[in-house]
Amino acid sequence: HVRGAFTGAMQARQGAFVRANGGTLFLDEVDSLPPALQPRLLRALESRTVKPVGGDEEVEVDVRVVAACQRDLSLAVAGGQFRPDLYYRLSVLRVGLPPLRSRREDLPMTIRELLTRRGFYGGAGSERDVVIAGSNLERLIGYAWPGNVRELRNVLDRALALSPGARSFADLRLSLPGDPQGRSDDGELAVRTDLPYAEAKQELLDRFEARYLGELMQRCDGNISAGAREAGLDRKHLRTLLRKHGLVP
């Protein structure tokens, strides 16, 4: 926007297209772009120009656009939720990324990368020495990962937080949705009576949500719309809850 375009616009600010001029602009979750904004994106792609809010002149931009989505855009087009002309303009080159559950052979490499990014070498001297094997790996391979790599990262982060003295990957205390950990002997979620009331209540609610949502998305094969129908929740509210627990990006 230009300076003075609206209340509080004390100075001009470049938009994403202008900042990416001469380079690459990454648009994440383009499938969630509201219908009212889709024509604006299409116009920018077609004309290779943008107009700052409050400005009078078009600004030429030369940008390569990479767009990512969480669902098949062709289905969104068929359902009337995404403009077909914008879809065809974006889909010059399509690259499909299979879900993590269909790339289980990649799990050891992915786990090693995520752990070493957190500075965890498990007593090894370098990244290549970190051994990813054993029962912990078997548990991770057996899980469906509805939240893909983001969920895996959250599971590992939680394990690191719960295992301060871990000397190897095998020492990490892993916790997955549906695990018996955190349940009482009768199968119910255990209450942390060692915490203050408010904290215990919130901790129990968080574990309930994570377990419920994880199992829900497993049953629905990661389909948020199907999950929302089964759970009786608004789709947007379900997505918010899934993001809270790292089950979707």
Q: Which residue has 């600010």 as its token pair?
A: 13
147-160 pLDDT, tens digit per residue, is: 888 889 988 988 88
Q: How far apart are CA 87 and CA 85, in angstroms?
A: 5
Q: Which domain holds residue 108?
A: 100-244
Q: Global pTM?
A: 0.57
Pairing of strands 49-50, 24-27: unpaired
Q: Same domain for 86 and 104?
A: no
pLDDT at residue number 23 = 92
User: Residue 184 has what pLDDT?
Assistant: 42
Query: Which residue is listed with tokens 């399509």?
Result: 94
The pLDDT of residue 82 is 94
Torsion on CA atoms 218, 220, 224, 226, rounded to nearest 10: -160
Q: Are residues 141 and 116 in the same domain?
A: yes
How many domains, the chain? 2
Q: Is residue 185 part of a domain?
A: yes
Same domain, residue pair 86 and 126? no
User: If 0-12 CB within 10 Å is exposed, 13-18 middle and 19+ buried, where does residue 231 land?
Assistant: middle
Residues (pLDDT < 50) of the chain are 1, 182-187
